[in-house]
Chains A and B, each alone.
Chain A
Amino acid sequence: MAKHYGRGIAAVNYPTGMNLGGDPTQALIFCQPTGGFSVKLASTDLGQGLKTVIAQIAAEALGVPFDSVIVDTGDTDSAPHCMGTFASRATHRVGNAVIMAANEARKALMDVAADEMEAAPEDLVLENGEIYVKGAPERKTNVFNVALAAHFKYGKTISGRGIYLKQKSSLDPETGACDPDSTEAHATTVAEVEVDDETGEVKVLRLASAYEVGRQINPEMVKGQIVSGAVMGMSHALMETVFPYYPALDHHTYSFGEYIIPTALDIPEIESVVLEYPSSNGPYGVKGVGEMTANSPIPAIVNAIYDAVGVWVTDLPVTPEKVLRALEEKALEAN
């Protein structure tokens, strides 16, 4: 009876967005008299940080400080249509729609600024909320003054409409070829485990991953997705099931007493590196990095268990009982 060390590897290519009957998302941006911009979306922030990255993208595209952008996510009645926050699509789809809306709002802003400053719009520079005449930086104003003038002097709106549509791609009846997604992100995970052949317990010692996710809008939040995905993947691999003997319903779970998810005591060493190869069609080269993070850890752990004790347990989660049954079967076959 002993503990066995094993190491396994797995890789994933993950699509950003989906095909559906076409995959659109809209955004509206408007400027308040204060010079603050509001981005109106129906896209929900589930905690992944969508509002933060969209505010970053809007601020960049508008040319205003991050703090002057509010992202207001309404519901499907009150906000412009979004297909939803799923399929790792939101930063890509919403980001593109917001850039389109920001470009229109920025043009409206610069037209008013041009009237105010008696200059041609193409001669004006907008940087971090400050506006000046190219080559004559002493002739300057700012977004706040222009917004006030637009509202109270010219009676003009500073606003923009945006939409991003991934066109529906139908299957070629001859070849089956199709363009189902917009871009793909990639990852590889190496798992190190320790398997106790007496109890059947699997302990994940380390999860090391490399991620290629296009341009990172917010690297700390990308890291957050990767770390949490590693733990969630480990959890799918080893712990989580509603019906442990499905299709039999015996011992189904009622509470967190039986439905086991990792606690702070179960966390392996987690390491990751991120490579940035910008996509051709994402906002600033973005790809999706949400769901994929819980993918490659699972087969990597299953492979590491095989490496450790020579049994394949492919029915998830890999519970101690399944490991012991597989080891017993292997011993019977050997005799």
Chain B
Amino acid sequence: MESITVTFKLNGKTTAVAIEPLESLRTVLREHLHLHATKAGCGQGGCGSCTVLVNAEPVLSCLMLAALADGQEITTLEGIGTAQHMHPLQAAFFDRFAAQCGYCSPGMIMAAKALLDKNPHPTRAEIAEALAGNLCRCTGYVAILDAIEDVVTQMQEA
């Protein structure tokens, strides 16, 4: 198949990339654009480790054709914070020991960001509901829920 060019806004920057028509957004992010925060987990939409934001909605990037991202606004973990200037969610995950192997963390943080951007004051049950599509094998989720609740509290106090 001939390659096609898609253009989208990636982490605030207009980005054009030549892709194979059937490549997933996840493959394009990781292998063409070398953004490796977005993880390749099950590849079947079952684990949530590839979660990114498309127009502020959490999307499983392994199931989305990159061609459909044309003209859309994509946000990955790289777009929300750096090691020096962490996003409040990243800082809270860090402070709460909310990762062990860390493979689910980027997807967890993006799913949490999508929730908090829409609903800044969720209950713990609402947070759990928003993360229900993101699997974690190591932490038992408690520290992850604690971390997100910390951010909710910080936003209430701010």
Contacts and interface: CB of A to CB of B under 8 A. Distances in A.
Interface of A: 46-49, 220-221, 223-224, 227-232, 255-257, 261-265, 267, 270
B138 A228 contact: yes
Contact of A224 (B44, B47, B97, B137): B97
Contacts of A232: 137, 140
A231 B100 CA distance: 14
A39 to B, nearest CB: 21
B83 interface: no
Contacts of A263: 128, 131-135, 141
Contacts of A264: 127-129, 131-132, 134, 136, 141, 144-145
A47 B138 CA distance: 8
B27 to A, nearest CB: 19
Interface of B: 42, 44, 46-47, 97, 99-102, 127-129, 131-145
Contacts of B132: 263-265
A220 B97 contact: yes
Given A256-B44, A256-B46, A267 B141 contact: yes
Contact of B141 (A47, A221, A229, A231): A231
A76 B134 CA distance: 34
A189 to B, nearest CB: 14
Nearest 6 Cβ contacts at the A-B interface: A47-B101, A256-B46, A231-B140, A47-B100, A228-B140, A264-B128
Nearest to A230: B140
Q: Which of A221, A223, A224 has the most CB of B within 10 A?
A: A224
Contact of B102 (A47, A228, A229, A270): A47
Contacts of B127: 264
A261 B136 CA distance: 9
Nearest to B133: A263
Nearest to B111: A264
Given A264-B127, A264-B144, A267-B128, A228 B42 contact: no
B68 to A, nearest CB: 23
18 contacts: A47-B100, A47-B101, A49-B100, A224-B143, A227-B142, A230-B140, A231-B142, A256-B47, A256-B135, A263-B133, A263-B134, A263-B135, A264-B127, A264-B129, A265-B128, A265-B132, A267-B142, A270-B142
A260 to B, nearest CB: 10
A296 to B, nearest CB: 15
B97 A270 contact: no
A270 B102 CA distance: 21
A261 B48 CA distance: 13
Contacts of A223: 97
Contacts of A257: 44, 46
A224 B99 CA distance: 9
Contacts of B46: 255-257
